[in-house]
Amino acid sequence: MCRIGSIKSKKYIHPSKVLKLMRSQQKGHDNSGFAFIMQDLGGIFENYKDLPILSMAVTDEGMKYAEDLLHKIGFVRVFQYNLEVCPDSSLKIETMPNYVFEVFQYPKNYKNSSLEEKENLLLDTRLKLRKHLEQNEEGFVYSFYPDVISLKEIGDPNDIGTYFNLWSEEVNLRAKIITAQCRQNTNYDIVRYAAHPFFLQGYTTLTNGENTFYEKNKLMQQKLHRGYIGFESDSQCFLYTLHYVHKILKWPLKYYKHVLTPLSYEEIQKRDNKNVLERIKVSLQNLEINGPNTTIGVLPDGTMFNVIDSKKLRPTVVCKDGDIVVMTSEVTGANEILPTRDISKDIYTNERELVVVDNDLNIQRIAQ
């Protein structure tokens, strides 16, 4: 089972924090990977808030293709950061030749374009790049979006941290939101793309469990938006549903819960807004999930939330201490990095609520 965790902080934090968060959650033999996404960046990326950052792990050929493609489209590179690695034959890790974070200036003809137009350009570019890299086995592109970097690798999470020197705060990577998972897709093929967190246009999700309605979700989603691709993990469906509900349909976040785990027909009849709820239930019946799952998500504005299935109750705990909120699937992780918090204020999300953390770290429990 995937262990997932996220940290939202008022101050910039280092990825070693999520390594610590996830280390204590390792379970048995399954230490098969580590992946994280950093949003609202500080450190070396702090001065490039509005510019898209390409995160990828590629061969030299893949790197060259990516540079040529972006150059051809009109992107101008303004900053590149290659992760320094510390190779050691004792480390359990499957590596790629290059791990790259590149910051680009938008093409000139996008100078006056809207955010939406820019987002579309970034998405189309990433999809094109991904398709080529996949076909030629030249690498993986995880995100291409402003103020976001991503890294996913196969191996022991401790060793992955060591390989990228992430245990040390010398590496000046900082962010106010970091989401992470310490496992690969162990039950199926080990594929880098299958590792959480998943990211699309400012939206991030991590999910554990088994999406028993994966087939329904997938068949529906792949017709809804060109960005809904891959499906290497049944948990990607949670990202696409979030993106669809919040960004495409522009519905308030609380309706994400109504789409994932709609109330029963009988319960809906008792609600004042029954017409709306019934419409949502039938129109998006194919995006329903039936658990067991817990999902941690991040919105483009930095809001972090948690929602769980309504039947099998996969746990997540939401903990706060001072300027940090942690959401994680095992409380041991929270104990590791917030040992002095008041545990009586920990929240275990229930089956009929959405727990939301805003940028001031106010925690709101929204009953379904």
Q: Could you list the residues that contact another protein (CB under 8 A)?
A: 1, 187, 209-210, 212-216, 219-220, 223-224, 244, 248-252, 254-255, 264-266, 273, 275-276, 278-280, 282-286, 288, 290-292, 310-312
In sequence order, the 6+-apart residues with CB closer than 8 A to the CB of 27 are 1, 3
Q: How far is the CB of 248 from another protein (least distance, A)?
A: 7
What does DSSP say about strands 173-181 and 139-146: parallel, antiparallel, or unpaired?
unpaired
Distance CA 52, CA 75 (A): 10
Q: How far is the CB of 41 from another protein (least distance, A)?
A: 29
Q: Is 291 left (phi over 0), alpha (psi -120 to 50) or beta?
A: left
Residue 143's DSSP bridge partners are 55
Cα atoms found within 13 Å of the Cα of residue 144, Cβ hemisphere only = 26
Helices (H), 40-189: 60-73, 115-135, 157-163
**For another protein, which is the closer residue by CB, 216 or 341?**
216
Distance CA 166, CA 174 (A): 11
**For another protein, which is the closer residue by CB, 24 or 222?**
222
Q: How far is the CB of 74 from another protein (least distance, A)?
A: 31
Cα–Cα nearest to 204, from 82, 139, 296, 278: 296
Distance CA 189, CA 263 (A): 34
Token pair belonging to 216: 């329904």
Distance CA 263, CA 368 (A): 8
Whole-angstrom CA distances from 73 to 121, 123, 144, 227 are: 9, 13, 14, 19
Q: How far is the CB of 212 from another protein (least distance, A)?
A: 5
Cβ count within 10 A of residue 190: 15
**For another protein, which is the closer residue by CB, 117 or 267?**
267
**For another protein, which is the closer residue by CB, 14 or 257?**
257
Whole-angstrom CA distances from 128 to 14, 124, 362 are: 32, 6, 39
Q: Contact at 8 Å (CB) between 309 and 351?
A: yes
- Residue 207, φ and ψ in degrees, nearest 5: -140, 140
**For another protein, which is the closer residue by CB, 167 or 214?**
214
Q: How far is the CB of 199 from another protein (least distance, A)?
A: 23
**For another protein, which is the closer residue by CB, 189 or 266?**
266
**For another protein, which is the closer residue by CB, 89 or 264?**
264
**For another protein, which is the closer residue by CB, 168 or 283?**
283
Q: Which amino acid is at 162?
A: T
Distance CA 206, CA 199 (A): 9
Q: How many residues does the chain have?
A: 368
**For another protein, which is the closer residue by CB, 77 or 265?**
265
**For another protein, which is the closer residue by CB, 78 or 248?**
248
